[in-house]
Structure 1
C-alpha cells in the first residue's frame, strides 16, 4: 500500500495590496477539475496525431512500430509530462519563475519560452490553410474534385479508368505509339489530333507530360499554396491566405483574452467534438473499396524494422511531438491548478487519450490510402505522405467520395480548426503566462494583460506572413524541422536532472505528498532520476548520428534546401537551447567564489510556507545573499545565525492550521518526526 502523508489544505489569498493597486488582478485557477485535463488533451492532441503518427507507423514496420512507441510512452512520455505539470502546480507560476525550484537551471524556463513562441508562429499557418479549405467548401461541388482549367496544369489527372481511351497503335514493325480508341478502332495520335480527339492519360502512363498528380494534390500546390520553386523565391503574400491567417489570430485572441476560466469552457467543445467527426469518417472510409488493404498495411508488423535505430528515434521524437513535452505550456497549464489538484491521475488519463487518438487516426488515414491505392493502381507506400499533405490531400480526397461531399468537407475542416485552435491558444497562453508571471506587478493591472496578449498575437502574425507567400511552405518546413524537434530532447533531460538530482527526488516526492495527501508510485522517481534522462540523451545522440539535412518532397521531385537556409534553421535551434548553459555561466560567475555561496544556486528560491516541509524552515537561499545583517560572512565557516523572515498574516494562519499534522510513525529519512534541522537539508542523494 502507498504511504499516507499529510496533505496541506491550502486556502490562502494573496496578501492585500495598497489602495493604489486596487486594479491589480489576482492569478486565476481553473474553473473546474475537468478544465485542466481538457486543456492538456486539447493542446497535445492535435494535427500531429492525425498526420505524423500514421506516417511513422507505416514507415517503421506497421504494427511493430507500436512496440517501441508504447515503451517510449512508459519510459519517457508519461513521466516527463507529469514532471512538467507537477512543477507548475507546485510552484504556482510558469516560465522562468517556475524554475526557482532550482535556480541554477532557470535557463530552462527561457528556452521553453522561445521554443513555444516559434511553435506558435508556424502552427497557426495550418489553421489559415484549414480556414481556406473551410470557406472553399461552401459550394455545390468541391473545387478539388476535378482538374479545373482555372488552376490545373497539364500534370493534373483524375485517374479515371472509365475515360481512359488510350491504346497501343502499331506504326511499323515493332514500333508502337500511344493512340486513341475511336469507334472501337485504335487510331494514331496524329489522326486523333486531326479529329480533335483528346487522349486521356492515366497513372500508368506518363511519357508525354512527365509526372502526374490528382486534382486534390494539384489544388493544394497550385490553387492554395501557389508554391514556388524554392525558398529563394518567397514571392508576395497571397491575399486570401493572409486574411485567413489574420482571422485565425483574431479567433485565438478572442479565446484567451479573458483568461483561462473562459478559455477552459471553450475547450469543452474544441477538445471533444473532433472525436465525433473522426468516428464518422472512419465508418465511411471502411466501406470504401480497398480500405481493408490499407488497414492491413497499417497493422501488419515487420519485426525486422525494430533492429533499426531510426525506428526508436522516430518513436521517441513522436512522443515529444504529440505529448508537447519541453515547450513550457504544460508547466503553464499546471500552474493554474489548485495546490491539491490530482494531476497524477490526469497524467494517466491524458496518456491514454493521446496515444489512443494517434492509433485511431491511423485507421482513418490508411483506410482512405488503401482506397486511393486501389484507384491509382499504385502501392500504398507511393500514395502515403508525411506532414501537412495527409490533412490537406488524403482527407480531402476522402471527402469527395462521400454523399453530400460539401457538407462533410465543412464538418471535416471545422474539426481541423477545432483541433488546431485549442492547441494554438494554449501555446499562446504558455508565452503570455510566462511573461506575466515574470512581471506580475506591471502586467496584471487594468487591461495590460489583454493588451500584451494582443501584442503577442500580432507579433506572431508578422512572423507568419512569409509562410503564406508562394515560398511559404519551405519556410514552414524550416521552422517545423529545426526550431522544436531535437532541442526539446536536450531541454527535457536537464529538466529531470534539475528536479531529481539538484532539488532532490525525495524532497520533491514529499512535496507531491503535501499536494495529494498520499505518496505516488516510486516508479516516477526511477524514471526521473535514471530512465528518462538516459532515454532523452540516447534519442538525442541517435538522432544526431542519423541526421540528414532538410528536404521537401513534391510530386515533381525532391527539393533540397540550400546551405544558407539550413544555417538559419540551426541558428533558430541554437537560440532556443543556448540559454541553459548561459544560465549556468551566470550563476558560476556570480556565486562561484566559494562553495558556501555556490551551493545556494541548487536550493529553491522564494518558496512560501505551504511549500515547505517542517525541516525546510530556515533553509538559506540566494535571497539571503541580499540580507548581509542576517548572513554576513559567506566565505568562511563562521556565519551568523539565520532567522526566518516574517510572512504575511495569511501565511502564518496557514502554518498554524497545519502545524498539528504529523507524518506517519513509520516514515523514514526526512519524513521521520525525529528528523531535526540540526542537519541542514541538502540536495537529496539516491
Structure 2
C-alpha cells in the first residue's frame, strides 16, 4: 500500500473512531478492520466505520466482551484461585517458618507476581487476542504463544483428575458411615487399624481392642483406613509405571461427568462462563468460612493455628524458603498459561486492568493465607485426637485433600456432612480453574482462524474436540498405574521450570523487543494514565532476574521423580517427563530460528521486519497517519509474508 493511501485511510478511520467515542459507531470498538478499510474476514467501510449489510448476512462474529466487568474479575478469581491456594500454600507457610514465610512471599508478589499478572492481562486487552495472536506485538516470538498453549493443554489434561477424585469422594460422602473411616471393607488389609493413640498403647492394647503380642511400634506402623481407601479402592494402584493394569470404571465415570460439566461451562463462550463463575468462584468461600467456624471450635485447633503462623526467624537465612515463596507465586497466580491473556482479550479496550491486577492479587494471596487457618485448625484437631505432633499429620497436595483432611472429618460428629462440604468446595475450586483453562486454550485456537473461515457452531465443535481429546489421554490416569502417569504430568509438564522459563521470556520480549516505555504508553492510552514506574523496572530488570534465578536453582537442584519417596521411576519414565517439559520450552527458540531462517534479507532486516507489530483495527485510533504498520487484513493466509509470521 502506498503511503498516501495509508495516510488517507488512517485519517478517515481516525475520524470515524472519534465519532464512535460519541456513541454513534462500532459497538465495543471490537471490529478488526485493517488500514485499507477491510475487516479481518469481511469488508468494512472506511468512511462510515459500519459493517456492511452483506457482511452481516455472512454472519461474521465480532469478538465478544464481558457483559459486565465483574464477570472478568470473577473469572480471573475462579481461574487463579484454585487447589494450590488450599493445599499447597498453608503447608509451605508451616514448613518455612510460619509467619516469617510471608516476608519473602509478599516480596515476590510485588517483584514477580503482580508485574507478570498485569502484563498478561494488559497484553490480551491491548491486542484483543488469545495466547498465540497476542504475540503479534512481536511476531518473531510467537513461539511464546505456542509454548503457553502446550502448557495449558497439559494442565487441562491432568488437572481434571483431581476433580474426578474429588467427585468420587463427594459421592461416597453420602454414605451413613464414611467408607474411609472403617477397616471392614473388601479393600482393607489385615494391617488396617482404625484408631491409634501412642499414649493409650500399652502391651499391644488400644482401648478394648487387643493385638496379640504386637508392640506399640509395630502397631504404629499399621495402615490407616483412609490410606487403604485411597490406594486400594480409589487408585487401586499397581507396583509401577510399567504396570498400567485395568481401568477403574467408577473413576472413569466420574472423570466423564466432570468433563461434561466443563464442556457446558465453556461451550457458549464468555457470556455463559461469566455467569457460571459467580457460583463456582464464590461458593468455596462460603464453605471455607463454615469450615473455619467449625474448625476453631474443635480441641487442638489453637495449637494447629500456632504451628501455622508461629514465626521461626532462622528460616529467613535458608535459600529454599525464598525459592518456595517465589515458585508458589508463579503457581498460584496461574502465570505463563495464556489463560489470563485470553480473559483479558474479552475486556473493553479502556478497562482499568492495572487496578484489576492489584485487586486480583489481593484476593488470590488473601485466600491462600485465609485457607491456612481452615486447614491447620482441622489438622490441629486431628493431631490432638491421635496424640501426635502436628508435624506427623501436616501434608500438602493430594495427601492433604484425600488423606489428611478426610481422616480429620471422619473424627467429627456428623462426619458425612463435613466431608460433603469439603469435597464440594474442592470440586468447585478446581472446576472453574479447569474450564477457564479450557477457555484459554480454545480462544487461542479459534483466534488462528480469520473471519473468512468462520463457520456456525465452530466454538461448540472446538470445545468438544478439546474435551474429547483430553478425556482420551486421561484414560491412562484412571488405570491402576494412573497415579504414576499423573505424577509425570504434574512434575514435568507444568512444573516450576516451564512456567518460570515462559515468564522470563514474556518480560524480555515486552520490555526489550517491543519496548517497556512503548508498552507503558499503550497502557496509558487504554486506561488513561501511566502505571507506576516500578512496573516498568520489574519488566525490564527485576522480574526476569527473579525468574531466571529460581529457574536455575530448580535446574541445579533437580531430583528424579519418586512416588511416596519410595518408588523410583524408570529411566524411560524420566525421558517421557523431560519430553513433556521440553515440548513447551523448546517452542520459543525453535519458532524463533524457523522464522528467521524463512525470512529474506540480512539478519538485521529480518529482525526488524519480524519484530514489527501486526496491528488490529482497534489500534488505529491511537496511531499517527504516518505510522509504519502492517495490517492483519493486508496478509492473506496464502502469502509468503503470512507464512513467515
Counterparts of 2:443 and 2:212, CA distance in 1: 58
Cα-to-partner distance string for 1:65-116 (whole Å, 9 max, x where unaligned): 1111111111000010000000000000112211000112110000000000
Is residue 614 of structure 2 the alignment partner of residue 602 of structure 1?
no
Counterparts of 1:580 and 1:101, CA distance in 2: 15
Is residue 142 of structure 2 the alignment partner of residue 102 of structure 1?
no
CA distance change for structure 1 residues 489 and 68 in 2, over 3 Å: closer, same or farther? same
| TM-superposed deviation, 1:307 | 1.9
Corresponding residue number in structure 1 for 2:13: none
Is residue 505 of structure 2 the alignment partner of residue 497 of structure 1?
no
TM-score in terms of structure 1 length = 0.82
Structure 2: any 5+ residue segments left out of the alignment?
Answer: 1-16, 32-43, 45-50
Match of 1:258 among 258, 261, 268: 268
CA distance change for structure 1 residues 506 and 216 in 2, over 3 Å: closer, same or farther? same
Counterparts of 1:201 and 1:101, CA distance in 2: 74
| TM-superposed deviation, 1:391 | 1.1
Give the 3-state SS of the residue equivalent to 1:95 in structure 2: coil
Cα-to-partner distance string for 1:247-266 (whole Å, 9 max, x where unaligned): 00000001111111111101
Structure 1: any 5+ residue segments left out of the alignment?
Answer: 1-5, 169-177, 183-196, 633-686
CA distance change for structure 1 residues 167 and 69 in 2, over 3 Å: closer, same or farther? closer
Give the 3-state SS of the residue equivalent to 1:445 in structure 2: coil
Corresponding residue number in structure 2 for 1:274: 284
Corresponding residue number in structure 2 for 1:507: 518
Corresponding residue number in structure 1 for 2:326: 316
Counterparts of 1:63 and 1:201, CA distance in 2: 45
Give the 3-state SS of the residue equivalent to 1:159 in structure 2: coil
| TM-superposed deviation, 1:397 | 2.3
Whichever of the two has the greater Rg, that structure is 1
Corresponding residue number in structure 2 for 1:679: none
Counterparts of 2:363 and 2:30, CA distance in 1: 35
Give the 3-state SS of the residue equivalent to 1:523 in structure 2: helix
Corresponding residue number in structure 1 for 2:155: 119
Give the 3-state SS of the residue equivalent to 2:153 in structure 1: helix
Matches within 5 A, 1:528-543: 528-543=539-554
Corresponding residue number in structure 2 for 1:295: 305
Cα-to-partner distance string for 1:233-273 (whole Å, 9 max, x where unaligned): 22111000000000000000011111111111011111011
Is residue 66 of structure 2 the alignment partner of residue 30 of structure 1?
yes
Counterparts of 2:144 and 2:409, CA distance in 1: 44
Please say if residues 25 and 445 of structure 1, whose CA atoms lie closer than 8 Å, have aligned partners that are also in contact.
no
Corresponding residue number in structure 2 for 1:480: 490
| TM-superposed deviation, 1:130 | 1.0
Match of 1:243 among 246, 253, 256: 253
Please say if residues 29 and 618 of structure 2, whose CA atoms lie closer than 8 Å, have aligned partners that are also in contact.
no
Corresponding residue number in structure 2 for 1:390: 400
Is residue 177 of structure 2 the alignment partner of residue 141 of structure 1?
yes
Counterparts of 2:594 and 2:234, CA distance in 1: 48
Counterparts of 1:219 and 1:228, CA distance in 2: 14
Cα-to-partner distance string for 1:186-207 (whole Å, 9 max, x where unaligned): xxxxxxxxxxx842899x8243
Is residue 437 of structure 2 the alignment partner of residue 420 of structure 1?
no
Counterparts of 2:301 and 2:394, CA distance in 1: 13
Matches within 5 A, 1:120-519: 120-161=156-197, 167-168=202-203, 198-199=210-211, 205-207=216-218, 211-441=221-451, 444-485=454-495, 486-519=497-530
- The size of the alignment, in residue pairs, is 594
Please say if residues 304 and 377 of structure 2, whose CA atoms lie closer than 8 Å, have aligned partners that are also in contact.
yes
Please say if residues 115 and 535 of structure 2, whose CA atoms lie closer than 8 Å, have aligned partners that are also in contact.
yes
Counterparts of 2:550 and 2:246, CA distance in 1: 39
Counterparts of 2:241 and 2:176, CA distance in 1: 36
Corresponding residue number in structure 1 for 2:578: 570
Please say if residues 196 and 206 of structure 2, whose CA atoms lie closer than 8 Å, have aligned partners that are also in contact.
no
Counterparts of 1:181 and 1:86, CA distance in 2: 63
Counterparts of 1:20 and 1:150, CA distance in 2: 64
| TM-superposed deviation, 1:21 | 6.1
Report which of the two has the higher share of helix: 2
Please say if residues 312 and 539 of structure 1, whose CA atoms lie closer than 8 Å, have aligned partners that are also in contact.
no
Task: Quote the RMSD (CA, aligned, Å).
Answer: 2.7
Corresponding residue number in structure 2 for 1:59: 95
Corresponding residue number in structure 2 for 1:92: 128
TM-score in terms of structure 2 length = 0.87
Moved more, 595-604 or 28-37: 595-604
Corresponding residue number in structure 2 for 1:174: none
Counterparts of 1:315 and 1:523, CA distance in 2: 21
Counterparts of 1:597 and 1:98, CA distance in 2: 20
Please say if residues 140 and 611 of structure 2, whose CA atoms lie closer than 8 Å, have aligned partners that are also in contact.
yes
Counterparts of 1:540 and 1:613, CA distance in 2: 38
Counterparts of 1:418 and 1:427, CA distance in 2: 14
Please say if residues 25 and 446 of structure 1, whose CA atoms lie closer than 8 Å, have aligned partners that are also in contact.
no
Please say if residues 591 and 598 of structure 1, whose CA atoms lie closer than 8 Å, have aligned partners that are also in contact.
no
Corresponding residue number in structure 1 for 2:115: 79
